[in-house]
Each structure stands twice: as C-alpha cells, then as structure tokens.
A and B are shown apart, each in its own frame.
Chain A
Amino acid sequence: GDSVTQMEGPVTLSEEAFLTINCTYTATGYPSLFWYVQYPGEGLQLLLKATKADDKGSNKGFEATYRKETTSFHLEKGSVQVSDSAVYFCALSDATNAGKSTFGDGTTLTVKP
C-alpha cells in the first residue's frame, strides 16, 4: 500500500537558518505530492503541491521538488522565521488507491529568535 515517511522531529532552528525536512514515499501508481502545515490549535492547510516528476511546488519561500527516481519530496526554505514554527506533513494522493490521501507522521518545527 501507499506510505509516506518523514524525517523524525522535533526540529529546532535559529531564525534565518536553512530548513530541510525529508520526505520519501511509496505508491502503487503515480501520485500527486503535497506539503501541509498545521499551526497550533488549527487544522491543516496546504503549503504546496506537485503533480508530476520534476515539478517544483513553492509557496511563502518554501520549495519542494517531485523526484520520481528517488521517490522523494523534500521541503526546503532558505531562511526560516519564528512564524514558521508549526507541524509539517508530507502527503500523497494516489489515483490507483481511490484518490485517498496518505500522510506522514508530521515534523514539528520550532524556530527560535
């Protein structure tokens, strides 16, 4: 079945540091890939997505590239801010699995001033 594996957290960075959160996936078909962000006390919201190999999703300074050869979708940001502190979820949606979304366990990011 489908699965998503994220790097274990929590991750603590200083403001303006470089961020990488690793994500790899296993899927039967050819999935779409997503990063969602969850701020304290809120539901998840889409951060970015990519639908085919070599696509790069980007939003709010975050980027992730769909790498089919390594089955990866790592999230990066060049300079994090305190306001980026949140839980980040990698997810996939697979048409061969009725389009159901599969989520990773989430990575908690804390950015200190």
Chain B
Amino acid sequence: NAGVTQTPKFQVLKTGQSMTLQCAQDMNHEYMSWYRQDPGMGLRLIHYSVGAGITDQGEVPNGYNVSRSTTEDFPLRLLSAAPSQTSVYFCASSLGHFNEKLFFGSGTQLSVL
C-alpha cells in the first residue's frame, strides 16, 4: 500500500522562485492537509481540505496556495519562495476530519537560499 506519497523529498530554491510540492493518497481519504515542521515549533497547519473542491486556511497560510481538484491529490504551491519558508513539509490525510488518525507522508525538506 502506497499510503501518502510526497514528492520531491528534497528541494533547494532561490528566493523568488516558485514551485509545487506534490501530495497524493490512495486511501480514498476525504481530509487532506499540509503542515510545516520547524525546530522547536512542532507542526503548524498551512492549509487543509475536507473534500474535493473545498480548501481552507490553517494557522500559517501566507505565501502558499492549494487546490483540490480530485480526492487523491492536494498540491501545495509556493508562489515566491522566501528564506522563511525553509522547513520540512508534511502532507497528511485522514478518513474524516475529526476523531480520525492522520496518515503522514515522508516529508519534503525545502531550503530557500
């Protein structure tokens, strides 16, 4: 079982560049979300989606865009990368959006120079 698949695993960007982090799940989960993990700050929610065509902002949405055109895919777009966006990014999904455990991808380590 593939579970939650994130690509790429590593990425280096220059300030001002744009890119898309890919996330796909094969479990038919309705709920998907993006987190960033920074030292000493735990995981912070960037954006989330409760189903295809529905997205909403989390705790730290600025500088990021998302879309959910299919149940399986939930890409995260960095519009104009900044050094403050250097972080490890995790995509997660769950069957529902409450009381259900999250399944995490293996993460994308992003460095913005």
Once the chains are docked, how many angstroms separate the CA of A100 from the CA of B102? Answer: 11
- Would you call A46 and B102 a contact (CB within 8 A)? yes
- Would you call A105 and B106 a contact (CB within 8 A)? no
**How many A-B pairs with Cβ below 8 Å?**
61
Given contacts A43-B107, A98-B56, A100-B58, contact A34 B101 (CB under 8 A): yes
- Would you call A105 and B41 a contact (CB within 8 A)? yes
Once the chains are docked, how many angstroms separate the CA of A51 from the CA of B99? Answer: 7
The answer to whether A93 has its CB under 8 Å from any CB of chain B is yes
Interfacial chain B residues near A104, Cβ < 8 Å:
42
Per-residue CB contact flags for chain B residues 88-109 toward chain A (1 = under 8 Å, else 0) read 0010100011111110111100
Per-residue CB contact flags for chain B residues 31-64 toward chain A (1 = under 8 Å, else 0) read 1010100001111110010100000101000000
Per-residue CB contact flags for chain A residues 1-43 toward chain B (1 = under 8 Å, else 0) read 0001000000000000000000000000000101010000111
Once the chains are docked, how many angstroms separate the CA of A41 from the CA of B40? Answer: 17
- Would you call B105 and A101 a contact (CB within 8 A)? no
- Would you call A46 and B97 a contact (CB within 8 A)? no
- Would you call A100 and B45 a contact (CB within 8 A)? yes
Once the chains are docked, how many angstroms separate the CA of A4 from the CA of B107? Answer: 22
Once the chains are docked, how many angstroms separate the CA of A49 from the CA of B94? Answer: 14
- Would you call A43 and B58 a contact (CB within 8 A)? no
Once the chains are docked, how many angstroms separate the CA of A99 from the CA of B100? Answer: 9
Chain B interface residues (CB < 8 Å from chain A): 4, 31, 33, 35, 40-45, 48, 50, 56, 58, 90, 92, 96-102, 104-107
25 contacts between A and B (CB under 8 A): A32-B99, A36-B102, A41-B106, A42-B106, A43-B104, A43-B105, A44-B102, A46-B102, A89-B42, A89-B43, A93-B100, A94-B98, A98-B48, A98-B97, A99-B31, A99-B96, A99-B98, A99-B99, A102-B45, A103-B35, A103-B42, A103-B43, A105-B41, A105-B42, A106-B42
